[in-house]
């Protein structure tokens, strides 16, 4: 039995918690015993408990000795062999704790986000990641473009890198949506409007201000925007919507227990991020048969085939985003064709089983190296 600790920086909806949930749900329990730790700041904390896992509250998002010592105690108490970290805070504390205790460390980058730091701090952060990589058995990237960026930045030795593509369980998603779809009326949307949708943490890197700006340029009263999520940018986005006079056309749904349930209410999915690792929300939308308009950035390029499953536009270009949205709204048959192609692509190239199997291989190798 290989004992694995999944250490998260947050349990709010997002790529890391979702990937850990799928791993914990699908890894063979005859071979792997999974425990999860992280802050109790989102719905995934209780979802992990509902799976029957050992779940510990550790404030990994904070700097200082407390999360490090808590992680060390947890590793020793549970006899952990492999510590798999997700996110910056967890990546720091978890890899230091693994080195302290002799456990093997695996780290997943769910996007390489260093540009938000002030310029003098960027090389310090990258230098820290390079040092931590020396103590990491495998550094996982969730898309080929992300791994290429990591190689360019020298974030780990080539023999420590692996790409494990995020996967979506389409059968499970279909069951959930069929069992409990969210009707437009419950979301505050009229039956005759064309609905654009986006699911994201309200963070500057998600580019949601550009999406609101594109709605202004689109200048079509029969089009509404559904924003699913929350985060530090929420209040600023609400002010932007109010100042633009779009209050009746933008619906803030907050975090939903299962965001995929909104897909039947949408006509088109839009993602305006400035950067991504590999966006599960876009994969889920494609898996639901929705055409996608997305920014031409790392992560999106790995998922959206321009002109085949959706349209890619330059990041931050609100006019181009509006034009692409308008072009697909005006051509329902093209949207349907792209939606069918997107679902086929997700089923073919982004299935959940290869992600589970490749991660299991990494855990086996990491555990063997420290026995």
Q: Average pLDDT in the 325-336 region?
A: 97
Q: Judge if 9 and 80 occupy the same domain.
A: yes
* Residue 10 backbone phi and psi in degrees, to 5: -155, 155
pLDDT of residue 274: 93
The CATH number of the domain where 77 resides is what?
A: 3.40.50.2000
pLDDT of residue 370: 75
Q: Judge if 76 and 103 occupy the same domain.
A: yes
- When divided into structural domains, the chain yields a total of 2
Q: Judge if 27 and 105 occupy the same domain.
A: yes
Q: Is the pLDDT of residue 56 over 80?
A: yes
Q: Is the pLDDT of residue 363 over 90?
A: yes
371 — pLDDT class (breaks 50, 70, 90)? low
Q: Judge if 242 and 338 occupy the same domain.
A: yes
**Percent of the residues in the chain that have a pLDDT greater than 90, as a whole number:** 81
Nearest to 267 by CA among 313, 215, 226: 226
130-134 own/partner pairs: CB under 8 Å, 24+ apart: 130/154, 130/155, 130/156, 132/91, 132/92, 132/95, 132/96, 132/107, 133/107, 133/157, 133/160
**Percent of the residues in the chain that have a pLDDT greater than 70, as a whole number:** 100
Q: Judge if 121 and 258 occupy the same domain.
A: no
Give the predicted TM-score (pTM) of the model: 0.91
Q: Judge if 181 and 196 occupy the same domain.
A: yes
Q: Average pLDDT in the 58-73 region?
A: 92
116 — pLDDT class (breaks 50, 70, 90)? confident
Q: List, for residues 198-248, the tens digit of each pLDDT value.
A: 999 999 999 999 999 999 999 888 999 999 999 899 999 999 999 999 988
CB 92 within 8 A of CB 64: no
Q: Average pLDDT in the 253-270 region?
A: 92
pLDDT of residue 13: 85
Q: Is the pLDDT of residue 47 over 70?
A: yes
Q: Judge if 320 and 361 occupy the same domain.
A: no
Q: Judge if 174 and 162 occupy the same domain.
A: no
Q: Judge if 183 and 83 occupy the same domain.
A: no
CB 270 within 8 A of CB 196: yes
CB 288 within 8 A of CB 178: no
Q: Is the pLDDT of residue 106 over 80?
A: yes
pLDDT of residue 226: 96
Domain that holds residue 329: 170-349
Q: Judge if 148 and 253 occupy the same domain.
A: no
Q: Judge if 322 and 174 occupy the same domain.
A: yes
Q: Judge if 239 and 302 occupy the same domain.
A: yes
Q: List, for residues 133-150, the tens digit of each pLDDT value.
A: 999 999 999 999 999 999
């Amino acid at each position: 039995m290989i004992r694995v600790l999944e250490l998260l920086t947050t349990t709010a909806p997002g790529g890391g918690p979702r990937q850990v949930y799928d791993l914990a749900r699908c890894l063979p329990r005859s071979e792997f015993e999974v425990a999860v730790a992280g802050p109790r700041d989102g719905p995934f904390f209780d979802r992990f408990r509902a799976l029957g896992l050992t779940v510990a509250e550790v404030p990994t998002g904070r700097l200082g000795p407390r999360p490090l010592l808590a992680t060390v105690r947890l590793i020793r108490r549970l006899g952990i062999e492999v510590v798999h970290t997700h996110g910056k805070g967890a990546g720091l504390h978890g890899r230091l704790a693994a080195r302290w205790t002799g456990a093997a460390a695996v780290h997943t980058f769910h996007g390489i986000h260093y540009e938000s730091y002030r310029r003098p701090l960027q090389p310090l952060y990258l230098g820290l990641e390079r040092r931590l990589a020396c103590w990491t058995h495998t550094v996982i990237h969730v898309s080929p473009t992300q791994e290429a960026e990591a190689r360019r930045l020298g974030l780990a030795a080539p023999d420590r890198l692996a790409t494990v593509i995020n996967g979506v369980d389409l059968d499970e998603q279909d069951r959930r949506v069929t069992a409990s779809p969210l009707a437009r009326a419950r979301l505050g949307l009229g039956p005759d409007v064309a609905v654009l949708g986006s699911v994201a943490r309200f963070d500057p890197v998600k580019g949601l201000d550009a999406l609101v700006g594109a709605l202004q340029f689109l200048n079509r009263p029969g089009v509404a925007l559904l924003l699913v999520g929350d985060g530090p940018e929420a209040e600023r986005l609400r002010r932007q919507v109010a100042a633009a006079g779009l209050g009746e056309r933008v619906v803030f749904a907050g975090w939903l227990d299962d965001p995929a349930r909104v897909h039947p209410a949408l006509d088109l999915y839009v993602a305006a991020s400035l950067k991504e690792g590999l966006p599960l929300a876009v994969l889920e939308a494609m898996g639901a048969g929705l055409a996608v308009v997305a920014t031409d950035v790392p992560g999106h390029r790995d998922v959206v085939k321009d002109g085949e499953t959706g349209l890619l536009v330059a990041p931050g270009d609100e006019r181009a985003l509006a034009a692409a949205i308008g072009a697909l709204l005006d051509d329902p048959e093209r949207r349907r064709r792209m939606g069918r192609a997107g679902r086929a692509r997700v089923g073919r190239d982004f299935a959940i089983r290869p992600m589970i199997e490749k991660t299991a291989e990494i855990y086996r190798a990491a555990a063997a190296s420290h026995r």
